[in-house]
Amino acid sequence: MLEDQWTMSDKPDEGDETSILVQTRPKTKRPPLYKVLLLNDDYTPMEFVVHVLERFFGMTHAQAFEIMLIVHKKGVAVVGVFSHEIAETKVGQVMDFARRHQHPLQCTMEREE
């Protein structure tokens, strides 16, 4: 018989309970998001701001025009919310584009709360 082949150390105790090891997964946090802000100035033409919003933020002309007016009236507007890397890239693209066209347009980012 099979049972005869077991030595005492190999034989499972019949009174032992089976224990199950449960591994819990650590909860993963979503990475923080960052708001990209466009700041008003007295020199950058409104048409240029609209063009920037269309080109770098994928807005329609109507959306871009509306955001441009908010920037103009309030001094600042959130133009998008992105991961850190994407926000950083967008800010760099806008700043480089404005500089190449000799406009003082400012674009910044801040962590969303």
- The Cα 75–Cα 16 span in angstroms is 73
| Overall number of domains in the chain | 1
* Mean pLDDT of all residues in 25-48: 94
Q: Which domain holds residue 99?
A: 42-111
Q: Is 62 inside any structural domain?
A: yes
| Contacts (Cβ under 8 Å, ≥6 apart) of 93 | 56
Q: pLDDT class for 29, splitting at 50, 70, 90?
A: confident
Domain assignment of residue 26, yes or no:
no
Quick check: is 103 in a domain? yes
* Residue 91 included in any domain: yes
Tell whether 2 is covered by a domain: no
How far apart CA 79 and CA 25 sit, in angstroms, is 36
**Is residue 105 in some structural domain?**
yes
Decide: 112 and 32 in contact? Cβ < 8 Å.
Answer: yes
Mean pLDDT of the chain, nearest integer: 89
Mean pLDDT of 29-47: 96
What digits encode the pLDDT tens for the residues 13-23? 555 567 777 77
**In sequence order, what are the beta bridge partners of 33?**
83
96 in a structural domain:
yes
Inside any domain, residue 32: no
In this prediction, residue 20 carries a pLDDT of: 75
**DSSP letters of the chain?**
--GGG--TTTSPPTTPPP----PPPPPPPPPPEEEEEEE--SSS-HHHHHHHHHHHH---HHHHHHHHHHHHHHSEEEEEEEEHHHHHHHHHHHHHHHHHTT---EEEEEE--
CATH code of residue 82 = 3.30.1390.10
pLDDT value at residue 13: 55
Min mean pLDDT across 8-12, 29-33, 49-53, 96-100 is at 8-12
Of the candidate ranges 10-19, 30-39, 42-51, the one whose mean pLDDT is the lowest:
10-19
Per-residue model confidence as pLDDT tens digits over 58-89:
999 999 999 999 999 999 999 999 999 999 99
